């Protein structure tokens, strides 16, 4: 898995200071994608050493979000679990262009997930008609993860 760049962001995961890692080699190819350069197989290798360096060079973050990674969901899962084991208190998120069913194999490693391809006519997460969904993942003891739909938290307050 490769990454192109990172940013500390405040809107992609509500209530979190998030290190967003832009993953390349996206196989989804959504028409109208805001980051079409991420469809190419470019960037630096994202391994655990690089991930550790990124996290440690951004003190104060409370979440790491993999922005993409649809070509390697099991690697996203592995790295999210590794973050939980090595960086107590840092939450994990995955922005995926896949549907919820295809993201299911990663949910056990995450605190948040955004699913759904970008479809121009429906707009992004802050559009009232969006097809995309953002979930907070709640774990019940001994059970499967429950999903709380937080998509509405992206809508402008005046709607």
pLDDT for the residue numbered 158: 58
Percent residues over pLDDT 70 in the chain: 97
Q: Is the dihedral of CA 3, 68, 58, 7 positive or negative?
A: positive
pLDDT band at 159 (very low <50, low <70, confident <90, very high): low
- pLDDT by residue (tens digit) across 20-37? 999 999 888 877 777 888
The maximal CA–CA distance of the chain, rounded, in angstroms, is 44
Nearest to 19 by CA among 72, 86, 66, 53: 66
Q: What is the pTM of this model?
A: 0.92
Residue pair 70/118 in contact by the 8 Å Cβ criterion: no
- pLDDT by residue (tens digit) across 28-81? 887 777 788 888 899 999 999 999 999 999 999 999 999 988 899 999 999 999
Residue pair 145/131 in contact by the 8 Å Cβ criterion: no
């Amino acid at each position: 898995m490769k990454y192109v760049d990172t940013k500390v962001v405040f809107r992609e995961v509500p209530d979190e200071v998030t290190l967003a890692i832009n993953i390349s080699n996206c196989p989804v190819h959504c028409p109208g994608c805001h980051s079409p350069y991420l469809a190419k197989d470019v960037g630096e290798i994202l391994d655990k050493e690089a991930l550790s360096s990124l996290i440690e060079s951004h003190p104060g973050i409370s979440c790491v979000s993999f922005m993409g990674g649809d070509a390697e969901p099991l690697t996203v899962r592995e790295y999210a679990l590794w973050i939980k084991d090595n960086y107590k208190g840092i939450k994990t998120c995955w922005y995926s262009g896949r549907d919820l069913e295809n993201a299911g194999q990663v949910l056990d490693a995450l605190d948040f997930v955004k699913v759904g391809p970008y479809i121009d006519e429906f707009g992004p997460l802050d559009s009232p008609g969006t097809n995309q969904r953002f979930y907070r993942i709640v774990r019940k003891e001994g059970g499967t993860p429950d999903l709380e739909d937080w998509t509405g938290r992206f809508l402008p307050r005046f709607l």
